[in-house]
Amino acid sequence: MPKEYLTLEKISAYQIAFAFSNDIWKVVITWDYFAKDTVGKQLVRAVDSISANIAEGFGRYSKKDKVRFYRISMGSLEEVADWIKKLAARELISSQDGDEYLLTIDSLRKEIYNLINYTNEKLKY
């Protein structure tokens, strides 16, 4: 039986982050110019950064490099949480949608922590 290798697409933190960024994109593109130009661009950059940094970390060789990028993705996640609260307060999204997004963020936070812990435990260097 051939050995199965871990791929980026099999990492649940990446899967959730990738899907979440696409969901946010679909919301932001419906906004008017001012909202897109102010909070929209920053939100999309931050949410895209989550999966992008997981991907970059996955592609790094050393444990230290991998974990560094996973931690950067965690910083982007916290930035997105702040933006989601602002969006609900400014009525760019409903409070119900805001609550659902924050639940996704909580889930993703746990997944990234698990990814960091797994990397620290399983890799030698």
pLDDT digits (tens, 9 = 90+) for 71-103: 999 999 999 999 999 999 999 999 999 999 999
- Residue 4 maps to a domain: no
Domain that holds residue 64: 10-122
For the chain, the domain total comes to 1
- Residue 41 maps to a domain: yes
- Residue 2 maps to a domain: no
| Confidence check: pLDDT of 4 > 90 | no
- Residue 3 maps to a domain: no
Domain with residue 117: its CATH number is: 1.20.1440.60
Cβ contacts of 73-76, under 8 Å, gap ≥ 24: 73/13, 73/17, 73/49, 73/112, 74/109, 74/112, 74/113, 74/116, 76/46, 76/47, 76/49, 76/50
- Residue 51 maps to a domain: yes
User: For position 14, what pLDDT does the model report?
Assistant: 98
Per-residue pLDDT of 5-48, as tens digits, reads 889 999 999 999 999 999 999 999 999 999 999 999 999 999 99
